[in-house]
Amino acid sequence: GESVGLHLPTLSVQEGDNSIINCAYSNSASDYFIWYKQESGKGPQFIIDIRSNMDKRQGQRVTVLLNKTVKHLSLQIAATQPGDSAVYFCAENIGGSGAGSYQLTFGKGTKLSVIP
Amino acid sequence: GAVVSQHPSWVICKSGTSVKIECRSLDFQATTMFWYRQFPKQSLMLMATSNEGSKATYEQGVEKDKFLINHASLTLSTLTVTSAHPEDSSFYICSARSDRVNGYTFGSGTRLTVV
């Protein structure tokens, strides 16, 4: 079935630089997207989300961009820090009112390594 | 904020035994609980979805008789891996959603090793 995918499995960046993590999704019915950070041996941690009626949303040091035309989602981290090193997942939800309306489908993940 | 407490954080068991994993929502009522399995260097794969007081809905390929899910209250859901085998070794994660709390709250995960 349709699933969320990522372009880059690994990303290494210099401390202080900006990071961009990409995600391609194929389900045009998805209307809610979330970025999660997962550190080794821990559960996913919410970073930022965006609904399909928006194309950009900003948080603290993070920005999510949504391009529905090409079904692409990106996470931008400004001034990347060593503590940002983790695996990042995008997740999508198709919404609606059916039994699976709240289910999240996760992408494959990108490992971000920050070089001090 | 919303917190989900998952226990145990890790467990080692012998083949053929059963293991129970608990997830409790500490400060909100979890209308829906999701259980995921994650193999090393892979993504989270949804196993089942459970609503309080209802039978869980399992994803294709997940054996409901092997992975027993109970969601008897709005603050507690359990996953029991029955007759565990080495191939069941994985990282299991729960996620709770509430109609009142925006978003999804994840537990810290349980590392299961079957020997």
pLDDT digits (tens, 9 = 90+) for B46-60: 999 998 888 899 999
Nearest to A3 by CA among A26, A22, A34: A26
Residue A18 is predicted with a pLDDT of: 97
Contact B36, B96 (CB under 8 A): no
**SS (HEC) of A43-107:** CCEEEEEEECCCCEEECCCEEEEEECCCCEEEEEECCCCHHHCEEEEEEEECCCCCCCCCCCEEC
Cβ distance B34 to A34 less than 8 Å, yes or no, reads: no
At residue B39, does pLDDT exceed 50?
A: yes
Residue B107 identity (one-letter amino acid): G
Q: Is beta strand B76-81 parallel, antiparallel or unpaired with respect to B67-73?
A: antiparallel
Cβ distance A102 to B106 less than 8 Å, yes or no, reads: no
Q: Measured on CA atoms in the order A42, A46, A47, A53, is the torsion positive or negative?
A: positive
B96 interaction partners in chain A (CB closer than 8 Å):
none
Query: Which of A32, A46, A97 is most worth mutating to test chain B (most B CB atoms within 10 A of its CB)?
Result: A46
Tens place of pLDDT per residue across chain A (116 aa): 334 554 448 999 999 999 999 999 878 889 999 999 999 999 999 999 999 999 999 999 999 999 999 999 999 999 999 999 999 999 999 876 655 678 999 999 999 999 99
Which pair of tokens denotes residue A18?
């900006």
Residue A3 is predicted with a pLDDT of: 43
Does A1 touch chain B if contact means CB atoms closer than 8 Å?
no
Does A98 touch chain B if contact means CB atoms closer than 8 Å?
no
Which of A100, A104, A105 faces B104 most closely, judged by CB atoms? Answer: A104
Q: Measured on CA atoms in the order B89, B90, B91, B95, is the torsion positive or negative?
A: negative
Provide CB contacts within 8 A for B22, sequence distance 6+.
Answer: B6, B7, B76, B77, B78
Residue A4 is predicted with a pLDDT of: 56
Provide CB contacts within 8 A for A14, sequence distance 6+.
Answer: A80, A114, A115
Cβ distance B104 to A107 less than 8 Å, yes or no, reads: no
- Cα separation, B20 vs B69, in Å, equals 9
Cβ distance A99 to B49 less than 8 Å, yes or no, reads: yes
Residue A98 is predicted with a pLDDT of: 59
Nearest to B103 by CA among A91, A26, A73: A91
Contact B79, B72 (CB under 8 A): no
Cβ distance A42 to B108 less than 8 Å, yes or no, reads: yes
Overall average pLDDT of the B17-31 stretch: 94
Cβ distance A43 to B93 less than 8 Å, yes or no, reads: yes
